[in-house]
Chain A
Amino acid sequence: MGLLDAKSGLHLVRYGISADQRYLTGEFLGTYDAAAINGNMVAHIPAALAQFLGDRATQAQVKPFIIDPLTHAFQHDPSKICTTVETEEGAETQPKASIRKMSDAFGEPVASRAGTEAVLPSDFNDPGLRDAFCQRVVSFQLDTINNQAQEKKFMKYLRHIGIDGMVPDVVIAPYFWMTPATVGEWQPINRAFIESAAKHARGASVWAQLVITQDLLLSKERRDALAKEYGSSTCQGVLIWVDQFSEHDASYEHLSAFAQFAQALSKTYTKRVINLYGGYFSILLCQLPEVGVLQGVCHGLEYGEDRSVVPVGGGLPMSKFYLPAYHRRLRFGDAVRAIQKLGGFDSVDRYHEIICDCVTCREVITGNPSEDFAAYGNTTPIQFKRGDQVVTLNYPTKETKDLCLRHYLHNKRKEFEASKVATAIDASQELEKHYEGAARLLGAGEAAYLKDWPRVVRGLTARSS
């Protein structure tokens, strides 16, 4: 039985790009339970990933990981997975190399369409083709890193300590994104993938990945139908990804609908449920074992507590600081004002007491907290063209981004650790204490989550008792 099938309060971190690796190792290796590795990374750098996992194997186990096969990538506008390359005949649009390798591994019906046309539900009508596709997606997860690992010298040592290979903790069935307009067509196919994956999983636990729009959650009828469909399937657990679902910006109705949906899967259908893109609200939902809502939460390294299914433009990078009291990343200016109001610049001790005492803040805030805190907001001016005008904007420096991210990751670890000893009701009361201050600073709308999260938690607890 894998970690995802057994443990509660799981903390997963997404390994999205190679640069993420430095924040998943060293001082951070022990801060999370498992890594969620993007399938295109597995296709692109399997040997490096085997090395990454092998180098950190300890106590007769490799750091647990899962591989997100990202099959939904092939259902969107093909340009979203393409890049422009210069050839002798001029600029040419091609699928990104990592996506191409992944689609080649998955075979038809995606291989011939990647980068040229979107995959449709009708492409999976043939049960034989569907099953073969499913088998390849499952094999990709079970074999790609493991095959590389078997060729590494360190396997001799790993076998000595009882590690025979590097297989993911669970296998994820292929999946496609569903909207109100497409759920009727994709749902039967996604369900068939789950059943097919179970046949090809070679004894590994099979999980479903459910990727949906927010409006599918709001309708109780649709929500119940989805819960029944996935709840009655053979999967052990469900990884949920709700498109652009920011726990901080979502309305009470959306938050409540999400929690009720997860609770139905978890409690009514006894599936294990993990939110693939979640923040502190999801951690609170892990603190309700008797209510049965979530068993784990995954987040990315940068702005990774919610995510759009269809990739959107990156926007301009901005300095943001994760304020532990608000459990939220704030624009740097807002963070400064919040700390001023909370009295965090009064002294070093006061900063560490009421703002943050994480490893990074202990390194940074050492003398004059007001001056020292500037390290989290240092920028460098960059000029670029906007229309006909040259515009200068300040971008965070590399060092600033590094400090902000390290501070964020240490705080996520603290949130998960605290969730194991405090009740969700106690944690909710802490949140509510900060509502007025946050509302004065950010506006009532921006701070509403500090009231809405506790309200949802209390509602779940009340319904359960």
Chain B
Amino acid sequence: MPADDARRVVVTGMGVVSSIGVGSADFTAGLRAGRSGAGPATAFDATGFPSDVVCEVADFTPSRWLRALDPADLGRAAQFAAAAARMAVADTDLAVLRDRRGLVSIGTTNGESQDVDALTTAEVRGRPLDPVAARRVSSRGIATSVATELGLSDVDAYVIGTACSAGNYAIGDGVDALRHGHAEYAVVGGADAISRKTFAAFHRLGLIAKDACRPFDRGRKGILTGEGAGVLLLETLASARARGARIHAEVLGYGLTCDADHPVSPSRSGIARCMRSALDDAGVKPEEVGFVSAHGTGTKLNDRTECEALRDVYGDAPPPLVGLKSMLGHAMGAASAIAAIACCLALTEGFIPPTINHRETDPACEVDCVPNRARVAELDVVQNNGFAFGGDNAVVLFGRYGR
């Protein structure tokens, strides 16, 4: 692990928009209380679907957060991302960032999926396509919206589209850019919006639970689709110290692997290889890890495979494996970015968030998932798992600053 301050990467800002809380304080309270984001869909008409439960960000008012951009010009994913970015720089002098070379790398699964849904609906009903919505179909708009909102111009701004691990990919991209001097700060994370088409696709695959998401439970039935954004401000330790920034956590390292095996089924060996790669990159021994934030979708296959891979890497006494999607639903490309912020908050606030809706641990999983109640814990290192359809795995390790 690079030890000098110029190569150590720290988190100096966090912004979160989620179904269990908007902003770090509200989100922390949600994690501690084991809040559920589940409720009936309002973003689309769920009539005729086998279920209507999703995890939406209710009562989101983008104008409360955005200063430069008009929310009416943005798709919902960009609204989430730009709002989360605003929160992430709340205690940073933006003039400092604007003078520096930066990276804006935001992950997404579906881009502005609500715009695609609306354009298709217009077409099916024989109406003209809205040019503003049509221009937002290029997914990079999510990243350029973040840069525009913060007034950043000397930035590489793009979107990582590696589906449901995209948030972790973007964080890793920021880590490498900072370690190797390609950027002096990085605004990274993920964003996605609930959409009818995504809901339909997961239903067709039989992967949606009708009432609740129950990772690692014997009776788990699948995911709830979710939405939101998580955005982190990253810089080197040297930079953070020099400007006296508050340091929330250190990003110790990350790993990327591709299963190259199956379009929808996860691979135990591909996931295990990714965890090992992240631990190596971070210079962390398995016994140092206080808990693992699971990909934990609550599907039969993911959870079993993830637990098997965890044992392959950690042996017979792995650290607790927590399924945040039990609370948040599956926020797709935002999921691992929101979970990353949960990891940082766990380190600073000293608790392990729970896996809610838990009744009985599946013997095929056999992990301590911290059922239903948050646990007080002094943590030094936590691991954040993100996997995706297509076998694109990304694992990030965070450390308590000053551990």
Q: Bound pair: A and B?
A: no
**Residues on B close to A: CB < 8 A?**
none
**Residues on A close to B: CB < 8 A?**
none
